[in-house]
Amino acid sequence: MNTTHLNNGIHQLTLASGVKLSFQSFGQDYLSAPVILVNHPLTGDSRVTGAFGWWNDLIGLGKSIDTRKFAIVSFNVPGNGFDGILIDDFETWNAGTIASFFHEGLKLLGIGHLHTVIGGSLGAGIAWEMAALFPNFITNLIPVGGDWKSTDWMIANTFLQKQILATNPKPLEIARMHAMLCYRTPESFKLRFNRTVNEDLGVFNVESWLTRHGEKLTERFQLQAYKTMNHVLGSIDITRNGESFEDIIQSIKASIYIFSIDSDLFFPLSEDQETVRRAKEVGVTINHQTIHSDYGHDAFLMESEKVVPLLHPIFN
């Protein structure tokens, strides 16, 4: 196994294709303990727990995904830039390609089976792709605020993002501002801003908030990385090879737990409800839980404590 140590607990594998796949592990030894694979969202990375962990409410010492019991592995989507690597030919990939990379990486690490794959947003889509491609490899599949396909709405938004990234003089800033309108809801904006004005800047507080989010992304993300991740987000589709959803869902051996957000504009609740219905029609039961939030898609990050009680039956 060709494994390279990078920094800050990051390690790197070289896949058969030459692709560099970096990862971090937490908790127990992944060669002896049950393994949980955690897939990060679009602007996330492998730091799922710890000092900079984006899912600390869920993962850690004594948490629902307890690092005293489980081995946690998280890969960086190649090209997300966190490991310093950018990808030029990312448009030849799709979310299924990433799922295959993750599976190959796990096999190189000596991991022959996953207790669970869980992911939020794009990470949920990649989790679905893994379950579809490797139906006997996973015991529990938990997509949170994600879907097994990019809907027309999703494709339209990622298409608009591509245009912004290709043509705007401030591509990352403006793309991020547009994305935030998908990640949140009108209700959450009213609750937070209520048409108040930033007197110092002479603009509405919602305008200065959007500007700040755009600027913050440029401090930690590179344009090529964002283009890569946006492309992968628009490519989720477990049926891309012509097999029907019904056939695929029947082949998946994992227990499936879908966690939806009732105010999600990006991956709407109605799509998950349709998935559950279609699965049931062919004899597959999906455990479907709905998180109530005013915050929309970002609730899986902003109110991750609401995900915690949904995990207890699975991990305890």
Q: pLDDT tens across 253-285, in order?
A: 999 999 999 999 999 999 999 999 999 999 999
**In the listed set 187, 203, 233, which residue is the last one of a domain according to the structure?**
233
Query: 137 and 157 in one domain?
Result: no
pLDDT value at residue 64? 96
Query: 181 and 42 in one domain?
Result: no
State the total domains in the chain.
2
CATH of the domain at 171: 1.10.1740.110
Query: 161 and 141 in one domain?
Result: no
Query: 304 and 176 in one domain?
Result: no
Query: 129 and 34 in one domain?
Result: yes
Query: 202 and 147 in one domain?
Result: no
Task: Single out the residue of 73, 76, 75 nearest to residue 29, CA to CA.
Answer: 73
State which residues form the domain around 182. 152-233
Query: 128 and 106 in one domain?
Result: yes
**In the listed set 177, 201, 233, which residue is the last one of a domain according to the structure?**
233
Query: 90 and 208 in one domain?
Result: no
Query: 186 and 214 in one domain?
Result: yes
Query: 200 and 141 in one domain?
Result: no
pLDDT value at residue 316? 86
**In the listed set 187, 210, 233, which residue is the last one of a domain according to the structure?**
233
Strands of the 11-14 sheet, one edge to the other: 3-5, 11-14, 20-27, 71-75, 35-39, 114-120, 138-144, 255-261, 287-291
Query: 113 and 9 in one domain?
Result: yes
Mean pLDDT of the chain: 97
SS3 20: strand
pLDDT (mean) for 116-121? 98
pLDDT value at residue 4? 66
pLDDT digits (tens, 9 = 90+) for 204-227: 999 999 999 999 999 999 999 999
Query: 16 and 97 in one domain?
Result: yes
CATH of the domain at 52: 3.40.50.1820
pLDDT (mean) for 48-64? 96
Q: Within its chain, how far is the Cα of 161 from the centroid?
A: 18
The answer to whether residue 250 scores a pLDDT higher than 80 is yes
Q: Within its chain, how far is the Cα of 64 from the centroid?
A: 19
Strand (E) or helix (H) holding 189: helix 186-192
Q: Where are the beta strands (DSSP E) in the chain?
A: 3-5, 11-14, 20-27, 35-39, 59-60, 65-66, 71-75, 114-120, 138-144, 197-198, 203-204, 255-261, 287-291
